[in-house]
Amino acid sequence: MTRRAVVAGVGHYLPERIVPNSEFEATLDTSDQWIRSRSGIERRHIAAEGQTTSDMATRAARNALADAGLEPDDLDAIILATSTADLTFPSAATMVQAELGMTRGFAFDVQAVCAGFIYALSTANAMILAGQANRVMIIGAETFSRIMDWTDRSTCVLFGDGAGALILEAAKGKGTNTDRGVLSTDLHSDGRHKDILYVDGGVSTQTTGHLRMEGKEVFRHAVEKLAETATTALEKIGMTGQDVDWVVPHQANIRIITGTAKKLGLPMDKVVVTVQDHGNTSAASIPLALSVGKERGQIKRGDLLVTEAIGGGLAWGAVVLRW
């Protein structure tokens, strides 16, 4: 028997306010047509004034608990992936822990920007396999609207706010690819590329800053590295793109998503796509896509999923998971 980290529940939360592309036409030299054709984005959700990352994360977490039929104290840990925590400290994860009324276990944040959920998922899996926890809530939550330069048309039209949550719990498997749960992980970063996607401010420089991106350069790295890491994660367990039921990619740009699927040899009807409705929600994008994909009836128990993401650092990776 092999110990596995198996999905017990999933949920998401999106802020009420929806901003269509056309809203940018009033303040920026841009168009709905440009944004749609270059990124695939049609609209995005933006957090209400005063609404924080931990608030959205808590709502997503409650939905995941309801989906799993669990109470907060049934969890051993919360791992929250974000680059836009409410405060410098304490972690947004401990704020969620308090809001949920969870009085035991431990909670911490992970920061790997758009790859944050992949890093958090991989960490949760490792902790479960090591016996450090039996049930872990993994959340991706972001308020990227707070770090946008709203005068920069090359970035501000691309991002949105939201949160998604997934619960993993320990279960026994046979040790084969037919097991449910996380089957393989693959993580990378290369700090030599730190200047192509970053925020030009932070605590130790006593500024807040805005997101800056060399879009074309990030794009080039994305298609190449995402296909590579997804292939590696599959190869580690003797599988290929042909075994995959669903690719659940980081939702940054439809052209990156289609380019990666093509390299994996997979048709688009095997890809969960939410970028048109959410924009790029950084660490929240994959759990949002998992939750929406399940809600739409796309992702079903027993399906083989490969999920991949890349973001600032650069940091990237993939997880293979049987739902």
The residues carrying an active-site annotation are: 114, 250, 280
Return the closest-CA partner of residue 164 out of 297, 293, 301: 293
Stretch that binds ligand UT7, among 4-12, 28-36, 141-149, 294-302 (CB under 6 A): 28-36
Give yes or no for residue 38 binding ligand UT7 (CB under 6 A). yes
Q: Min. distance of Cβ 69 from ligand UT7 in angstroms?
A: 33
Could you give the count of Cα atoms lying within 13 Å of 123 in the half-sphere of its Cβ? 21
- Rounded to whole angstroms, the Cα distance separating 60 from 81 reads 13
- Rounded to whole angstroms, the Cα distance separating 134 from 10 reads 17
- Rounded to whole angstroms, the Cα distance separating 81 from 79 reads 7
Residue 160 in tokens: 């949105």
Q: Min. distance of Cβ 288 from ligand UT7 in angstroms?
A: 13
Stretch that binds ligand UT7, among 27-35, 66-74, 93-101, 126-134 (CB under 6 A): 27-35
Yes or no: say if 78 and 96 are a contact pair by the CB < 8 Å rule: yes
Give yes or no for residue 25 binding ligand UT7 (CB under 6 A). no
Yes or no: say if 229 and 193 are a contact pair by the CB < 8 Å rule: no
Closest-by-Cβ residue to ligand UT7 is: 215
Give yes or no for residue 153 binding ligand UT7 (CB under 6 A). yes
Q: Which of 10, 79, 107, 222 binds ligand UT7 (CB under 6 A)?
A: 222
- Rounded to whole angstroms, the Cα distance separating 230 from 228 reads 6
- Rounded to whole angstroms, the Cα distance separating 323 from 307 reads 12
Stretch that binds ligand UT7, among 46-54, 77-85, 176-184, 210-218 (CB under 6 A): 210-218
User: What is residue 52's three-state secondary structure?
Assistant: coil
Stretch 70-99: interaction string toward ligand UT7, x if CB under 6 A = ------------------------------
Dihedral sign (CA 252, 255, 261, 266): positive
Residue 271 in tokens: 């890809």
Q: Min. distance of Cβ 280 from ligand UT7 in angstroms?
A: 5
Stretch that binds ligand UT7, among 99-107, 140-148, 211-219, 296-304 (CB under 6 A): 211-219
Stretch 104-123: interaction string toward ligand UT7, x if CB under 6 A = ----------x---------
Q: Which is nearer to ligand UT7, 1 or 26 (CB)?
A: 26
Yes or no: say if 161 and 46 are a contact pair by the CB < 8 Å rule: yes
Return the closest-CA partner of residue 219 out of 270, 253, 170: 253
> How far out from the chain centre does Cα 225 lie?
17
Return the closest-CA partner of residue 109 out of 53, 188, 161, 147: 53
Q: Min. distance of Cβ 150 from ligand UT7 in angstroms?
A: 12
Q: Which of 191, 216, 267, 297 binds ligand UT7 (CB under 6 A)?
A: 216
Helices (H) and strands (E) counted in the chain, each on its own, are: 9, 13
Write the CA distances from 282 to 33, 79, 112, 136, 279, integer angstroms.
Answer: 23, 16, 9, 21, 9
What one-letter code names the amino acid at 104? R
Stretch that binds ligand UT7, among 33-41, 47-55, 86-94, 233-241 (CB under 6 A): 33-41
Q: Which of 105, 215, 241, 259 binds ligand UT7 (CB under 6 A)?
A: 215
Which residues 232-261 are close enough to bind ligand UT7 by CB under 6 A? 252-253, 256
Q: Min. distance of Cβ 237 from ligand UT7 in angstroms?
A: 27
Q: Which is nearer to ligand UT7, 25 or 99 (CB)?
A: 25
Q: Which is nearer to ligand UT7, 6 or 218 (CB)?
A: 218
* Chain positions contacting ligand UT7, by CB under 6 A: 30, 34-35, 38-39, 114, 153-154, 157, 215-216, 218-219, 222, 252-253, 256, 280, 311
